[in-house]
A and B are shown apart, each in its own frame.
Chain A
Amino acid sequence: MDTPRLSLHRLMSALTACLLVCICALAIATPASAMEAVRCTGRPNSEDDPTVIMGATQSRITFEASIAEGEGVTQLTLHIPDGTEFNTEDLAVTLLTGDDLMTRNEVAYTETVDGQNLTLTFDEPIVQAGHLNVIVYDVYFPTAGGDMQVEATYSTADGTKDAAVADIPVIPVQGISTTEAISQWLEGQAWVQAWNSNRFLRLFFDPTLLVTSFPVVLSGFFMSIAIVAVSFPLAIPVALVLAFMRLSKFPVWRGIATVYVNLVRGTPLFLQIYVAFFGLPMAGINIPNFPLGVIVMMLNSSAYMCEIFRAGILSINKGQSEAARSLGMNRLQTMLYVVLPQMFRIVIPNLTNEFITLYKDTSLLAAVGIMELVMYARTIVASTGSITPYIVAAVFYLVITLPLSRVTRYLEERTRRGHAHKRKSAPEPEPTKEAQHA
């Protein structure tokens, strides 16, 4: 029964031998890559999240590598990732030694910078075992963010040249938007700080908030535009029908339209919005916010437009419809081909004004939680305590209303002067019958 025990013993000696070989191999290999990365980090710089490193925001890189006893490192070159800005005026180069690495030793060096390469040449080769710690201040990672890989090479006194430090961990950098980048840049500017030291200016015109709230309020702008872009064209046919009803011979039609127009024009839009948004759900009618908002704006605007159209139709000379009717055109044809084309030309300035009013009135929908211009601005106001986002919202209103009122003025001017048609060439002298028969 000796045989199994013998074979077991053999196996164990074989394993031991293998283990020894491995350990020896490791022991030999380790000094060969004597400088090993210990850490490579960026300093978190986000105000919102203390673990996040953001692009285009001031940070710093801490690089630490271990040096073996007697290594004799003479030079270390750090390759800072492309697109990352850094400043070399304020470097900290320290050798940490001792069992707990708590002893800090100054290292004398001279630095040279070549593009993204920062080279530290040590006055004395570093022979003491320890961790070489390099801190680069004033680092700005690229705005777009990404995984930043710092590369490092070193040389030693015994002739190792430009050996790479392996396994340097990447620094994860979160990209930030351009506006955040601009805002952060602004925050660092002296004039902005001076500007913001005035309480009034900071409250209403904080440059950094102007920039950051822009894209947010822009979404609200699109929403407001979408609301008018749908409700305004829908209001036109409704208003035309109302106008025809008000001009109808039949008292019932006239009555219905008149009551509707007076009700809508005689009550605040705000109230109408409340009635629609709180009343309808109570009545069991559930319409999603956006369509309901559009419907309310459309119904409101159609009452005002009805009066514009009615006045426009009445302003067309009676002779126009008489001429059309005398040619055998019926009422509908007369309205469609003779009265309405002229009416629309006349009411365009008033319609433009109505558009401006409707656009501004979309702000009232903020009261029922529709995410339009004011609502978006309000969310930032709530989180920053500055009124500045409202100012940004105001700009978004003016961007539409100012040019449109200019257009209105121009159209009114043109209508008043009555130059609707421009000849391509000056009219030639008249070869008229008057002349021929004279």
Chain B
Amino acid sequence: MPDMENAVATAAGAKPSDNDPIIRIVDLHKSFGDVDVLRGISLDIHRGEVVVVLGPSGSGKSTMLRCLNRLEEPTSGQIIFEGEDITAPKVNVNKVRERMGMVFQQFNLFPHLDALHNVMLAQTKVLNRSDDEAKRIAAEQLARVGLAERADYYPDELSGGQQQRVAIARALAMDPHVMLFDEATSALDPELVRGVLDVMRELARGGMTMVVVTHEMGFARDVADRVIFMDGGVIVEQGTPDEVFNHPKSERTRAFLGEVSLK
């Protein structure tokens, strides 16, 4: 069954003109106790689109991303993923997550497994792929992120940038329809950021639907189809990189971009 879904998805992914959004967020709210982190987010993400989410820390951008695969439970609102309301109570959230890859700020590689087995584990346990097939795909994905020779290295033997690329390979091996990047380069030393961004760039060029929370303005400018600026739990402004960076409408956007460029 997963194979059929993948085939459909790949076909759909090849047509970015597809009008149905792959993800539709409707009036999403999330609060932790009395703190309202998300205060009504509505957003459509289309197949093959690269959406970059910017915003000051505490603006709720990571929380929004984590709500998309329900690592955080939304307080209210709907998330419709490939036509299915994944906030409905009876949804098998594991099935949803198979189709949504996620990359974390802290990599979160499994330290007890080498790079190859990090990429293999969920393939064999979740997709029931045979060891041989999982190994073949893992090797392919590691080669894709430029780490073919690091297959037998354990996470603590890899640099941060290499670890993050293994994490990307691990997510990609599941053939996700969407990739979520949660500040994927924020924990990296500056000289290691580029390798990870290059992999992400390559992925975008290949037509992957991506939602990227980042502070990398250059990446947003170059790669994003759409830039979203969030602040205070709402979307303040969105548009093409040119619109948001060069002609920001909102005062808050301007202030944020000003601060970032000063850094």
Contact = CB atoms under 8 A, between A and B. Distances in A.
Interface of A: 317, 319-320, 322-330, 333, 337-338, 341-342, 345, 418, 420-421, 423, 427, 430-434, 436-438
B126 A322 contact: no
A324 B122 CA distance: 8
Nearest to A438: B194
Interface size class of B (residues with CB under 8 A): 35 or more
Interface stretch (B51-59, B91-99, B212-220, B245-253): B91-99
B104 interface: yes
A46 to B, nearest CB: 63
Interface string B168-210: 0011001000000000000000011011001100000000000
A432 B125 contact: no
Given A327-B126, A342-B111, A432 B170 contact: no
Contacts of A333: 125-126
6 nearest CB pairs, A to B: A323-B108, A327-B122, A328-B98, A433-B146, A434-B195, A319-B108
A434 B194 contact: yes
26 contacts: A323-B104, A323-B108, A323-B110, A324-B122, A325-B71, A326-B69, A326-B102, A326-B104, A327-B98, A327-B170, A327-B174, A328-B95, A328-B122, A328-B126, A329-B125, A345-B112, A421-B154, A430-B159, A430-B162, A432-B161, A433-B145, A433-B195, A434-B161, A436-B146, A437-B198, A438-B194
Nearest to B154: A421
B138 interface: no
Interface in B126-179: 126-127, 145-146, 149, 154, 156-157, 159, 161-162, 165, 167, 170-171, 174
A320 B104 contact: no
Contacts, number: 96
A384 B101 CA distance: 75
B38 interface: no
A436 B147 CA distance: 13
B94 A329 contact: yes
B28 interface: no
B98 A434 contact: no
B195 A338 contact: no
A423 B157 contact: yes
B108 A420 contact: no
B195 A418 contact: no
B110 A320 contact: yes
Contacts of B45: none
Given A319-B104, A342-B112, A432-B162, A328 B174 contact: yes
A258 B37 CA distance: 35
B108 A317 contact: yes
Given A319-B106, A342-B112, A432 B94 contact: no
B4 to A, nearest CB: 17
A326 B159 contact: no
A111 B83 CA distance: 116
A437 B194 contact: yes
Given A327-B174, A420-B154, 17 more contacts: A319-B104, A319-B108, A320-B108, A322-B104, A323-B108, A325-B94, A326-B97, A327-B97, A328-B126, A329-B94, A330-B94, A337-B121, A338-B110, A421-B157, A430-B159, A433-B165, A433-B198
Contact of B195 (A341, A420, A437): A437
